[in-house]
């Protein structure tokens, strides 16, 4: 048994139960605050979030208790994973068998990368038991904000992440004459700038400010000596399904804003496993499988990905036309706090590669700050992206075939003679170039929405 798996077993023995005690919501002059009480042993957590006050939000919306409860259920994952107690006890709400099955599946698949990278040997049946009791509601509404009576013009709630994908959704729907309400969680430079360029000042954006309990950050930093005398982390840490968490927040945002459609920007590439030959997928909560499960869990709530019929390569082709965003968009997780492209990670390299067939090299180098295809320090990440490693990078990146097709197109268009350093030994894999005008049939789009995508892909690229 490896040391990390043994640590996992020890933590589960020390913390046999994770308890979801209560959820709360309160309207103040700042907006709608939601927060949660949960504990494992003597460790307590109180995650919270604020839906900022806006004139277009109905803070007096009814029937939001269950939505707040479910936000608490998805927030638990970030805290549960530090010790992985074998039982989650839900004291503040009730779940039927189908709902329990939904949460167990989401925990298992959403934490697939977490289990893999921590070397944890576990089964889907044995890793977690979910128990629930009778529903107990704690709703505090001492300060009610005034509401507006005018009909809301917005038809689509569009989460903006600051990357190329949400820009494509935003621009295609906007140019098709659809009315849009942007949503940003924890605004930063790229998200604010993308909204501004699209014509939305922050007072017209639905803003959610989510806070992680500092106790979790403290636990993540705790270390101790193992049997060899080496310093190791006392608690477990790793990737959690952020997009699933966002889904439950957008459900409440949809109710507060009166916007019936939530248009995500997840492409069909998100369905591919990260670890070859397994179901471990960094992007599970962006996959169509999760989207369909979530729609069944929340019937009547139109949560869907507008870009699902598209590949990453098609999205890059469309984004290349929206030049106003090229200097402000960001997808790098390493550089997110500084709002920069770090230029040294797989996410930066993938973004560079997928755009390389459509944006000439000098301009692309200006956007990313360097000629990334000439940086041999990125050879490992490059091999991962082209399928010459055991795993793809644990990042939101496209499929191996998409990367290879992008590189083939780049070589043909920009480098007919001398190749960049990373591409000198790249062999032609013999795969046919896919038609970028053809949409995948997958997704939960209406015929009109598919037509918007089809017309955009058919339009001649500049």
The mean of the pLDDT values for the chain is 89
Residue where one domain finishes, among candidates 241, 257, 273:
257
Q: Tell me: the pLDDT tens digits for 248-262?
A: 999 999 999 999 899
pLDDT band at 272; cut points 50, 70, 90: confident
pLDDT for the residue 54: 97
CB of 36 closer than 8 Å to CB of 75: yes
Q: Is the pLDDT of residue 143 over 80?
A: no
pLDDT for the residue 277: 72
Residues 150 and 161 reside in one and the same domain: no
pLDDT for the residue 154: 47
The most confident of the ranges 46-60, 107-121, 214-228, 278-292 is 46-60
Residue where one domain finishes, among candidates 194, 225, 257:
257
Q: Strands 138-140, 180-185: parallel, antiparallel or unpaired by DSSP? A: unpaired
pLDDT band at 337; cut points 50, 70, 90: confident
Q: Strands 156-159, 31-40: parallel, antiparallel or unpaired by DSSP? A: unpaired
C-alpha distances in Å from residue 172, one per residue of 270, 374, 414, 457: 20, 34, 28, 11
Share of the chain above pLDDT 70, in %: 92
Share of the chain above pLDDT 90, in %: 70
pLDDT band at 413; cut points 50, 70, 90: very high
Give backbone dihedrals phi and psi of 399, rounded to 5 degrees, phi first: -75, 165
SS (H, E, C) 116-150: HHCCCCCCCCCCCEEEECCCCCEEECCCCCCCCCC
Is residue 323 assigned to a domain?
yes
Cα distance from N-terminal residue to C-terminal residue, the chain: 56
- How many domains are there within the chain? 2
Is residue 396 assigned to a domain?
yes
Q: Is the pLDDT of residue 271 over 50?
A: yes
Is residue 270 assigned to a domain?
no
pLDDT for the residue 227: 65
Compute the C-alpha angle 265/151/64, nearest 5°: 65
Q: Is the pLDDT of residue 91 over 50?
A: yes
Q: Tell me: the pLDDT tens digits for 48-73?
A: 999 999 999 999 888 899 999 999 99
Q: Tell me: the pLDDT tens digits for 166-211?
A: 999 999 999 999 999 999 999 999 999 999 999 999 999 999 999 9
SS (H, E, C) the chain: CCHHHHHHHHHHHHCCEEEEEEEEEEEECCEEEEEEEEEECCEEECCEEEEECCCCCCCCCCCCHHHHHHHHHHHHHHHHCCCCCCEEEECCCCCCHHHHHHHHHHHHHHCHHHHHHCCCCCCCCCCCEEEECCCCCEEECCCCCCCCCCCCCCCEEEECCCCHHHHHHHHHHHHCCCCEEEEEECCCHHHHHHHHHCCCCHHHCEEEEEECCHHHHHHHHCEEECCCCCEEECCCCCCCCHHHHHHHHHHHHHHHHCCCEEEECCCHHHHCCCECCCCCCCCHHHCHHHHHHHHHHCCCCEEEECCCCCCHHHHHHHHCCCHHHCCCCCCCCCCCCCCCCCCCCHHHHHHHHHHCCCCCHHHHHHHHCCCHHHCHHHHHHHHHHCCCCCECCCCCCCCHHHHHHHHHHHHHHHCCCCCCHHHCCCCCCCCCCCCCCCCCCCCCCCHHHHHHHHHHHHCCCC
- Average pLDDT of the residues in 251-275: 88
CB of 347 closer than 8 Å to CB of 331: yes
pLDDT for the residue 142: 34
**Which residues are paired to 26 by β-bridges?**
33, 140
Residues 40 and 112 reside in one and the same domain: yes
Is residue 184 assigned to a domain?
yes
- Average pLDDT of the residues in 230-235: 80
Residues 197 and 221 reside in one and the same domain: no
- Rounded-to-integer distance, Cα 117 and Cα 394, Å: 10
Q: Is the pLDDT of residue 269 over 50?
A: yes
Is residue 284 assigned to a domain?
no
pLDDT for the residue 433: 59
Q: Tell me: the pLDDT tens digits for 376-386?
A: 999 999 999 99
Q: Is the pLDDT of residue 402 over 70?
A: yes
- Average pLDDT of the residues in 10-31: 96
Q: Is the pLDDT of residue 320 over 50?
A: yes
Residues 18 and 88 reside in one and the same domain: yes
pLDDT for the residue 228: 64
Compute the C-alpha angle 362/163/170, nearest 5°: 110
Q: Tell me: the pLDDT tens digits for 78-87?
A: 999 999 999 9
pLDDT for the residue 144: 34
Q: Which has more pLDDT, 384 or 391?
A: 384
- Average pLDDT of the residues in 275-281: 75
pLDDT for the residue 396: 77
Residue where one domain finishes, among candidates 240, 257, 274:
257
pLDDT band at 229; cut points 50, 70, 90: low
Residues 44 and 116 reside in one and the same domain: yes
Q: Tell me: the pLDDT tens digits for 118-142?
A: 888 888 888 999 998 643 334 333 3
Is residue 427 assigned to a domain?
yes
Residues 72 and 196 reside in one and the same domain: no
Residues 95 and 186 reside in one and the same domain: no
Q: For residue 230, what are the contacts with CB-CB under 8 A and spacing of at least 6?
A: none
Residues 149 and 173 reside in one and the same domain: no
Q: Is the pLDDT of residue 47 over 60?
A: yes
Q: Is the pLDDT of residue 76 over 80?
A: yes
pLDDT for the residue 434: 66
Q: Is the pLDDT of residue 362 over 80?
A: yes
pLDDT for the residue 148: 35
Residues 353 and 392 reside in one and the same domain: yes
Is residue 94 assigned to a domain?
yes
Residues 369 and 329 reside in one and the same domain: yes
Residues 324 and 185 reside in one and the same domain: yes
pLDDT for the residue 265: 96
Q: Which two tokens stand for residue 362?
A: 């000098």
Residues 148 and 161 reside in one and the same domain: no
Length of the chain: 462
Identify the domain containing residue 189 by its residue range. Answer: 156-202+304-458
Is residue 269 assigned to a domain?
no
């Amino acid at each position: 048994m490896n040391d990390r798996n043994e640590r996992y077993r020890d933590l589960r023995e020390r913390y046999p139960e994770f308890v979801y005690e209560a959820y709360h919501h309160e309207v103040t002059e700042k907006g709608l605050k939601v927060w949660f009480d949960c504990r494992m042993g003597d460790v307590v957590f109180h995650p919270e979030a604020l839906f900022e006050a806006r004139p277009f939000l109905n803070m007096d919306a009814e029937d939001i208790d269950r939505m707040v409860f479910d936000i608490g259920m998805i927030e638990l994952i970030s805290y549960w994973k530090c010790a992985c107690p074998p039982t989650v006890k839900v004291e503040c709400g009730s779940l039927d068998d189908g709902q329990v099955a939904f949460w167990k599946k989401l925990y298992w698949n959403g934490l697939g990368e977490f289990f893999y990278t921590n070397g944890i040997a576990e089964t889907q049946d044995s890793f977690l038991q979910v128990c629930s009791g009778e529903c107990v509601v704690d709703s505090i509404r001492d300060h009610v904000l005034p509401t507006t009576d005018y009909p809301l013009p917005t038809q689509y709630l569009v989460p903006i992440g600051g990357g190329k994908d949400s820009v494509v959704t935003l621009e295609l729907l906007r140019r098709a004459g659809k009315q849009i309400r942007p949503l940003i969680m924890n605004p930063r430079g790229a998200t604010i700038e993308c909204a501004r360029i699209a014509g939305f000042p922050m007072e017209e954006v639905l803003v959610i400010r989510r806070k992680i309990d500092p106790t979790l950050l403290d636990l993540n930093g705790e270390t101790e000596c193992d049997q060899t005398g080496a310093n190791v982390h006392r608690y477990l840490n790793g990737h959690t399904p952020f997009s699933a968490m966002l889904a439950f927040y957008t459900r409440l945002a949809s109710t507060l804003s009166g916007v019936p459609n939530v248009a995500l920007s997840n492409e069909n590439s998100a369905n591919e496993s990260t670890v070859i030959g397994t179901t471990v997928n960094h992007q599970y909560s962006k996959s169509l499988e999760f989207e369909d499960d979530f729609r069944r869990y929340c019937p009547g709530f139109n949560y869907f990905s507008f870009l699902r019929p598209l590949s990453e390569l098609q999205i890059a082709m469309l984004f290349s036309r929206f030049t106003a965003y090229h200097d402000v968009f960001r997808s790098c997780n390493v550089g997110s706090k500084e709002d920069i492209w770090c230029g040294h990670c797989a996410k930066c390299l993938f973004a560079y590669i997928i755009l390389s067939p459509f944006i000439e090299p000098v301009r692309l180098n200006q956007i990313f700050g360097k000629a990334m295809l000439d940086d041999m320090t990125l050879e490992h990440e490059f091999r991962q992206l082209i399928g010459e490693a055991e795993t793809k990078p644990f990042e939101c990146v496209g499929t191996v075939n998409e990367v290879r097709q992008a590189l083939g197109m780049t070589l043909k268009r920009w480098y007919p003679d001398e190749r960049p350093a990373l591409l000198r030994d790249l062999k032609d894999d013999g795969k046919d170039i896919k038609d970028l005008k053809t949409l995948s049939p997958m997704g939960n789009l209406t015929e009109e929405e598919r037509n918007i995508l089809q017309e955009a892909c058919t339009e001649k690229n500049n």
